[in-house]
Every structure is written in structure tokens, then in C-alpha cells.
Amino acid sequence: MIQKLIIYLTLFFAVEMANAEQTRFVMSAPTAVEMGKQFRLSFTLNEQGSNLKLPPGIENNFDILMGPSTGKSISMTTINGRTTQEITYSFTYILRPKKEGTFELRPASIEVGGKIFESNSMKIQVVQAQSKPAQPQAGAGGEAQQQAAPQNVELGAENLFVRVELSKQNVFKGEQLVATVKLYVNPNIPVAGFDEVNLPTFEGFYTMDIEIPQQVNFTREVFDNKIYQVGILKKTILFPQQTGRLTVAPFNMTLLVQQQVKQRSFFDDYFNSFRTVKATITSKAVSINVRDIPASPGNFSGGVGNFSVSSEISSQDVTTNDAVTLKLTISGSGNIRLIKTPELVLPSDFEKYDPKVTDNVTAGNSGNSGSKTIEYLFQPRFEGAYTIPSITFTTFNPATGAYETKSTQEYQLKVKKGSGEQNASVTSAVRKEDVQFIGQDIRFIEQGDPELKAIGYTFYGTSTFYLLYALSTVIFVGLFVIYRKKARENANLALVRNKKANKVARKRLKAAAGFMKQNNNEAFHESVLKSFEGYLCDKLGIPVAQFSRETAIEGLKKRNVEQSVIGDYVTVVEQCEFARFAPPSGAEARADIYNKAETTMGLMEKQIKR
């Protein structure tokens, strides 16, 4: 009976706790407001409630102008064919601050199903009034306008600026600090977007970026006793690598801001006209004083921060040639990634491998924290009892300004004799630690049909040797003759260019044929002209800067090219130049020009003498 009663009570309290967790009562309001300005204090509840009581003592610091204004909203969600419904009840009050200062709102309470639930608490900062409300102006007919038009705010340094906020400004070398790039905007300035953003590079620091949402979310914040809409553009953890005064250089960005166009007619009273203007803002330089750490001991690991160290071994009872892993874990906050791997001193009879290092680091708002795991793998080769020494780990703690040395525990390793060829024992009068045992000191006998040679046999002096010697000499002489011929031809630059001229020209005419198939009129005629220009420059030895139709004709005459061929060249050039600036010609006209250009170039190649 008692056991059943205990079960029933346990189930009852479990159900009650589940219902309590499901009921959500949340209080929300701006974290910063101006003196004399109204603001909303809202409460949301996911169940129907009654008898709402405001935070105790709220009337001492705020005037309650209106409320509660109640509302109800229903949201439906369908996931995998299952539809869920959630009802939210809201209660809204309009408040106005009575005085300046920072005030804490204690939790409000509401009754749901006969039970009392409390909301969260929050703080509200009240600052002095920054702007006066716009006065109504007399409109047409002497009547006051019911709603004043929004006024443009001056885009000055007080209303729109960017700054780098540092968590610390006096640090040790290697000590971490958080730099936050913040954009401050007057609440009356509508920012439409960003045109160009140049963020700081933090020279002289090792950096780690803190992940933030890609969409810039603006929240209210008080700076210099004024309220701004503040957006975080970048968060970075800095580790100074130099001493002295390090400066974060100024950077700039261009914002797109909407401003209302000045009213010019009667109709502008009913239609708001806006324009987007560019506003460029530049940050101020920020300096950080970096002090050098005291003279470091010999086993300093390079870690600056607050760290702890622990270790564990995979097994302490093993056989020879078994793999043993010693895992060292360094955890804490600081420059974990920059910590050097401590050295593990092992007996000389141990086969040691390079340690495996794994970093598990998280970059958060408070800085860099996590752990570094180092796995030392080794194999004992002989039986016996061994001591795995402790690992000494020294770091610098900037909070205390002193070095801290921590050590892992020692491990006693018992190694038994294994079985198999690899674990064969060695009998010797010297210590086992002095013997470099391989395990396979006798080579295996080679099997098969070996190729035997007579004693004293040499390849030198045989007929095959002389045949190969004569053949290699002939090949060498032939290659030498070919090389000399190519060298003489390459030395004659005009000859080389002459040989390549026809090939290059044909290639360019081939490109013109491609443009002709694409019906690209301008590119086709330009390709034909460039084909002739490159061909004649190379063939006649005319510099590109001095090439013209007259120099080309003069060069062709000197090379005894027939006048009819020169005339065909001039005709092709004139047709191409005319077609580039005339309306597009048909496919037949382009085909005629291409055929004529190809024929003319072929005749030139035959008639030009080298």
C-alpha cells in the first residue's frame, strides 16, 4: 500500500512539474528609454490567466498611463501531417518614466488554473530626453495638422558612428581579449543597408572570430547618456603577439540611409517621398597596452590563461610490443591553440611515435575556451617494470600575474613477455636497455631459379658493349648536327618569323571564319584586318607601331609582289574598314570577303621571296 502511494505521489508531482514547465509568462519592455517618453510594458502568456499583478513598486518610478490592453493570437503549425495549435494571450501597459536612472522591475504574477506564476525580471535605464516632440503646424484653412511629418536627422558623428569596443585595454602578451565592432544609429535614422564595409584587420594579433548572425540585429543601448540603435557587425578574440602599445587602425564603411524629400506641393502632404543617400563613417583608432610576461622558465608551454591538466593511460599491464596510449588533456580558457606539445620522456627501449593533437575549442562572448587533447603512442619492446614519468606543464596566469606549474601523475607499467617472432628474447651480458633489438636479424633464404654468372665475368670488352658504344656515338653526332642546324635557324629571326607568318595568318583567318558563322559582323571584319596586319608585320619585318596601309604596300612592292595582288589586299582592307562602321552586311558579303582574303594571302605567300 505504501509503495503504491509513493508511486501515485511521484506521478502527481511529475505531472505538476510538467504543467509548470509548459506555462510561459514573459515580461518585455525596452531596456533604455528617454525621460518623458512613453513606452510599452508587455506580458505574454500561453494559457488563459487572470488577476495580473504588476511588478511591486513600479509606480514609484513610472506613471501608468494606460492598461491593461488585452489581446489574443492563434498560431497553427503543420509538421509531417500533424497540426499543432498555440494560443498566446497578451497584456500591454503604456508607461512613462518619472525620473532618470536604472530601475529593476521585479517579476509580475498572474493566476492560471488556481496557481500563481511569476514572470522574469528586467532592468530599464532612463536617460535624459534627447529630442523634443514636433509641434503641430497650422495647415491650410488654419486647421492644425493631425500628424506631423517625420523630420530628417543630421547624419553627423553624434547620430551615426562605428566604434570598436574592447573588453580589456591593458593585457599581457598572449592574454585574450574580445573586440566588438558596433554600429550606433540614432533611432530616427532609417538605415536601408550597407554599400561598402571595411572591417579592421587587427595587425599584431592572433585572431579568432566569434560566430554571429549574418543578419545585423539592432537593439537599444545607452552610450554617452544617449539612446542608440546598436548593431554588432563583428566579434573577434584577440591574442596580442607583440608588446608595447598596439593600435587598431581606423576603418570606414558606407551606409545607405533613407531621408525624406522636402515637400514641394500640396500633394506631398499625402504621399511620403524618400531618397536613399550614402553616408560614409570612419571609426576612431583604439589602442591596447600590451605588457610583456616575466622571464619564462625553461618548461614554459606558451599557454597564457587559466588552465588545468589531467592524464589517463590506456593500460598498465601489457605485453611486449603492445601499443600503449597516454592521453593528456589541457582544458581551460586562454590561447589553447598556441600551447606547445609537452615532451614525454620514455625509456630508451620504448618505440615512440609522433603525438596526435586534437583541439576542441569554442570561441564565445567571454573568450576562447575548451580543451587540447594530446595522445602519446608508444610500444615497450622488452618485459619488465617501467615508470612512465609525469609530464610537467607550465603556463602563465594573467589574473595572478605569475607562472603556474602543474604535473600529471606517474604511471607504473608492467610489461610481460609476449609470444611470436617479434617478441623473441635476446641473451646478453649487458642491460636490455642498451640493446637495439630488431626482431628479425636473419634474412630469409631466397627461393626460385637464380641467375648465376661466372666468376670474373664483366660486360666491358664484349661485342655487345662495342655495338652499343658505336650506336650511342652515332646518335650523339646526329643530335649534335640537328641541334646546330636549329640553332642557326633560330638565330635568323627574320627566317623564323617568315616561316610562322603563314601559319599565324591562317589561324587568324580561321577565327574570322568562326565569327562569320556566328553572324558577328564587327568581330569578323576586325579579325580579318588583324590577320593581315600580323601576317605582314612578321613577313615583311615591319614593327607593329609603324604598321600602316602605306608601309605594307611599300614592303610588298620591295618583295616583288604583283600589283594585282596588292590591289586585292587594298580592296579587302577598304571593305573591312567600311563594313565596321556601316550597317551589318549579309552572309554572302562576308563570305566573299573571307574567300578573297584567303586567296590574296595565299598569293602573297607564294610571291614574297625570303
Averaged pLDDT for residues 342-361: 89
Would you state the pLDDT for residue 297?
A: 84
153-291 adopts what CATH topology? Immunoglobulin-like (2.60.40)
Q: Is the pLDDT of residue 609 over 70?
A: no
**Which pLDDT tens digit goes with each residue over 551-597?**
888 888 888 888 888 888 889 888 888 876 676 667 788 888 888 88
Report whether 531 contacts 505 (CB < 8 A). Answer: yes
446 vs 433, more confident: 446
Residue 217 and residue 235: Cα distance in Å, rounded?
A: 14
**Which pLDDT tens digit goes with each residue over 75-116?**
888 887 788 878 889 999 999 998 888 899 999 999 888 889
**Which pLDDT tens digit goes with each residue over 522-538?**
888 888 888 888 888 88
Would you state the pLDDT for residue 500?
A: 56
Percent of the chain with pLDDT over 70: 80
Residue 94 and residue 82: Cα distance in Å, rounded?
A: 39
Cell reading at 271: 504621399
Mean pLDDT of the chain: 81
* Neighbour-count burial for 588-604, b at 16+ CB within 10 Å, e otherwise: eebeebbebbbebbebb
pTM to 2 decimal places: 0.55
Return the bridge partners of 82, or none: 79
Q: Is the pLDDT of residue 21 over 60?
A: no
Region 2-127: CATH code: 2.60.40.10
Averaged pLDDT for residues 337-348: 88
Cell reading at 177: 581579449
Helix (H) or strand (E) run with residue 28 in it: strand 25-28
- Asked, as a colleague might, if the bond just before 68 is cis with ω within 30 of 0, I would say yes
Region 300-416: CATH code: 2.60.40.740
Percent of the chain with pLDDT over 90: 24
Would you state the pLDDT for residue 8?
A: 60
Would you mind telling me the total number of residues written for the chain in this entry? 610
Residue 4 — left, alpha, or beta (φ > 0 → left; ψ -120 to 50 → alpha)?
Answer: alpha
Residue 605 pLDDT class (50, 70, 90 cuts): confident
Q: Is the pLDDT of residue 272 over 80?
A: no
Query: To 10 degrees, the CA torsion angle through 125, 131, 135, 137?
Result: -140
Would you state the pLDDT for residue 77?
A: 81
Q: How far apart are the first and last CA of the chain?
A: 122
**Residues 6+ away with beta carbon under 8 Å from 39:** 29, 30, 33, 94, 95, 96
Q: Give the 3-state secondary structure of 412-477.
A: EEEEECCCCHHHCCCCCCCCHHHCCCCCCCCCCCCCCCCCCCCCCCCCCCCHHHHHHHHHHHHHHH
Cell reading at 461: 670488352
Helix (H) or strand (E) run with residue 240 in it: strand 226-240
